[in-house]
């Protein structure tokens, strides 16, 4: 198994990271974060992960959507199977709010955990977790404009996006994963301006973009902004819909070739 237990943007370069979102045991995609918009993209998440691995992917982004809604990990068994049977690095978010949650994921072989709600609702607890596992915890900041969403995107935070990002960047995080909810699942393209502004603000903390990828040109747009501090992009629906050629993405970006 690949024991890549820290996200090192210097060594790995810009990365295209496929997403697997788990809801009721299946891989799904949402439209702008709405649970009632969920559509199944793969009945067997482990098999989906295996296909990504076979295309040359070495890192997956997995979100336990049920866990994000319930406030505790729901799909730990599925996540453990992905790690064990597929053998690539996996970062996991959704319902990760306590030290016990983090320990369960790391015991299952997960490379990095992603803190979301707890980072906004209980900053002291989140800071303690990040200090305990330096370089192994991302913070996910999912926002509509400057408003950060919590609890599976069902509640708004009091702290603004940029204030939260600045606070988090003072801690030894693996990086910040920024999602523009208004773009998520739409294919309209990522919010390059906001992503680049956030990345500049928190440098040298790595920023990973998420939400809105609808074609290979959108990935190239983010790649071209990598000097702003954008170290990768998470892609979901565009891969499942076949509008992004994963083999081509691996060839271009994971070998650090100039597209």
Over residues 170-222, the pLDDT tens digits come to 999 999 999 988 887 778 899 999 999 999 999 999 999 998 899 999 999 99
Report yes or no on 194 lying in a domain: yes
| In contact, 165 and 141? CB cutoff 8 Å | yes
Report yes or no on 258 lying in a domain: no
Which pTM value belongs to this model?
0.88
Q: What is the DSSP letter of 190?
A: -
Report yes or no on 9 lying in a domain: no
pLDDT given at position 4: 44
Length in residues, the chain: 259
pLDDT given at position 44: 93
Residue 24, phi-psi category: left (phi > 0), alpha (psi -120 to 50), beta (remainder): left
Catalytic residues: 21, 142
pLDDT given at position 186: 76
Report yes or no on 7 lying in a domain: no
How many structural domains are present in the chain? 1
pLDDT given at position 211: 86
Report yes or no on 187 lying in a domain: yes
Range of the domain at 96: 14-253
Report yes or no on 49 lying in a domain: yes
Report yes or no on 193 lying in a domain: yes
Report yes or no on 93 lying in a domain: yes
pLDDT given at position 31: 64
Can you give the CATH number for the domain in which 50 is found?
A: 3.20.20.70
Of the candidates 157, 190, 162, which has an alpha carbon nearest to the alpha carbon of residue 176? 162
Q: Is the pLDDT of residue 40 over 60?
A: yes
Q: Is the pLDDT of residue 11 over 50?
A: no
């Amino acid at each position: 198994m690949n024991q890549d237990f820290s996200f090192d943007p210097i060594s790995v370069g810009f990365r295209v990271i496929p997403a697997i979102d788990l809801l009721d045991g299946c891989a799904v995609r949402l439209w702008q974060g709405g649970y009632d918009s969920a559509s199944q993209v793969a009945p067997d998440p482990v098999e989906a992960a295996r296909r990504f691995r076979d295309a040359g992917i070495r890192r997956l982004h997995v979100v336990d959507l049920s866990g994000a809604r319930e406030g505790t990990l729901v799909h730990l068994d599925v996540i453990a199977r992905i790690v064990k049977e597929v053998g690539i690095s996996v970062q996991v978010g959704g319902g990760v709010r306590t030290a016990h949650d983090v320990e369960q994921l790391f015991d299952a072989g997960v490379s990095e955990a992603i803190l979301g709600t707890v980072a906004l609702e209980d900053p002291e607890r989140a800071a303690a977790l990040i200090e305990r596992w330096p370089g192994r915890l991302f913070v996910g900041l999912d926002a509509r404009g400057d408003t950060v969403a919590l609890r599976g995107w069902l509640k708004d935070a009091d702290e603004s996006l940029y204030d939260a990002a600045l606070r988090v960047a003072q801690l030894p995080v693996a990086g910040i994963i920024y999602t523009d909810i208004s773009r998520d699942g739409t294919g309209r393209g990522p919010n390059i301006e906001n992503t680049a502004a956030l990345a500049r603000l928190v440098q040298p903390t790595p920023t990973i973009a998420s939400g809105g990828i609808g074609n290979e040109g959108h990935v190239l747009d983010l790649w071209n902004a990598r000097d702003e501090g954008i170290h990768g992009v998470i892609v979901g629906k565009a891969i499942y819909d076949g509008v992004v050629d994963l083999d081509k993405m691996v060839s271009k970006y994971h070998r650090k070739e100039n597209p």
